[in-house]
Structure 1
């Protein structure tokens, strides 16, 4: 079964948006229902296309002052943690490069095998 694509003429699109603007249609859902428009965002896209954003519903968020402070504090903490993560990654890359250079200087053929042996030796010493 093939998917049917419905194309709407420019005149039809403008008519729907104009009816919304003149409040002949109370909202986008009623426009979809009246004209049998299937897409949930189709009318919204037409409104944006024709520069009538004032017809789109707005979301208003009301916060208490301490909620705003908490959000700012949490965003700052996220930035700090992201910076710390970047620093940690840089140190990890540098340490790996130093380790590879030292292994090369001392003639260690397999650095990964050396790491395993060193880790085993350290865990034995801790016991």
Structure 2
């Protein structure tokens, strides 16, 4: 079984600065990758970030209509209300579980097991 030897390239700070300066002067990412044999698709972008030249990075601009913004606000408000309602129900459920536990201890019974097990209807023996 033979091991494949992988070649790792380490770039100097000076080289990174040179590539980023070329990018700043108008060269494209893909051109610089081909020119210098840089394999990683995000390698140059990482260099740009590390050298504090974020203005060279691609930016995502989101364009929305007024109706989309309004709908987004409505959904965010509904989400907030639903989270609050869920939190209230969790607290109420915990309180009821605690009440059942205390009642079981106080009266020496198991209310969950005995719930709904009243007398059987006439003529229908169990």
Both proteins in one fold, TM over 0.5:
yes
Q: State the structure with more CA Rg.
A: 2
Q: Residues 6, 116 of structure 1: CA spacing in aligned structure 2 closer, same or farther, 3 A cutoff?
A: farther
Partner of 1:8: 11
Which of 77, 101, 115 in structure 2 is aligned with 1:118? 115
Q: Give the TM-score taking structure 2 as reference length.
A: 0.78
Render the CA deviation track for 1:39-81: whole Å, top value 9, x for unaligned: 2222111111111111111222211111111111111111111
Once residues 77 and 3 of structure 1 are traced to their aligned partners in structure 2, the CA distance between those partners, rounded to angstroms, is 53
- 1:97 and 2:103 matched: no
**Residue correspondence of structure 1 range 52-63 to structure 2 within 5 A:** 52-63=53-64
Render the CA deviation track for 1:67-125: whole Å, top value 9, x for unaligned: 111111111111111111111111122221121111111113xx5xx524426x48x99
Aligned residues: 117
Once residues 31 and 24 of structure 2 are traced to their aligned partners in structure 1, the CA distance between those partners, rounded to angstroms, is 13
**Residue correspondence of structure 1 range 83-94 to structure 2 within 5 A:** 83-94=84-95
Q: Which runs of 5+ in 1 are unaligned?
A: none
Q: Residues 40, 95 of structure 1: CA spacing in aligned structure 2 closer, same or farther, 3 A cutoff?
A: farther
Once residues 37 and 75 of structure 2 are traced to their aligned partners in structure 1, the CA distance between those partners, rounded to angstroms, is 46
- 1:29 and 2:26 matched: no
- 1:75 and 2:76 matched: yes
- Structure (1/2) with the larger helix percentage: 1
